[in-house]
Amino acid sequence: MAEAATIEAPVEAPLVGSDVDHINGLPQSRCQLIEYKTQCHLVVPEDGTPWEHLLRPDYWVHNATRFSPWDTIVVNYEGDDACYYARLLVRSVEPLAVNVSVLEKVDLDHVDMDAAARKESAYFVKWRGPHPKWCVIRRSDELVVSEGHQEKAKAQRWIQTSAPRI
């Protein structure tokens, strides 16, 4: 009967004295606060913007000068068609284009009124920017009747509870 061969792993000596293999440590110049090297941008696409458009280099044509390679872009989207959070990494920047890679995309629960109810309602909800936020707009004359709602669902709730009946 043949004896099984055993292979012993080499025992590593402790890292002391002159027996230490030369290790190139990380130079201090290559370790710094992230705020000094990259930026994190917040993007809120317009309602109806397809996710695929954010991945196209030409989508960023009007903002290309804002970005540098290795910047991150946080995307907050809440539209009539979807709701998601995403993080993109800027890979390269050209004068009229930005190439990005997806680091993360999370589809969130979409809160939306029934389409038929939306058409029958005298009001609708629209994102109007970081200051007015979610606004309730009267459909007949497009007058803003309530603004400053942090979430779309809260603006829709305002329609159901507080909007004047027309």
Rounded to two decimals, the pTM is 0.58
pLDDT tens per residue, range 126-150: 888 888 889 999 988 989 999 999 9
Q: How many residues does the chain have?
A: 166
Cβ(84)–Cβ(77) under 8 Å? yes
Residue 126 burial by CB count (10 A; 0-12/13-18/19+): exposed, middle or buried? Answer: middle
Q: Quick one: tokens of 164?
A: 């004047």
Region 30-107: CATH code = 2.40.240.20
Q: What is the pLDDT of residues 31-60, one digit of tens each?
A: 989 888 899 999 999 888 999 999 999 999
Domain-by-domain residue ranges, the chain? 30-107, 115-161
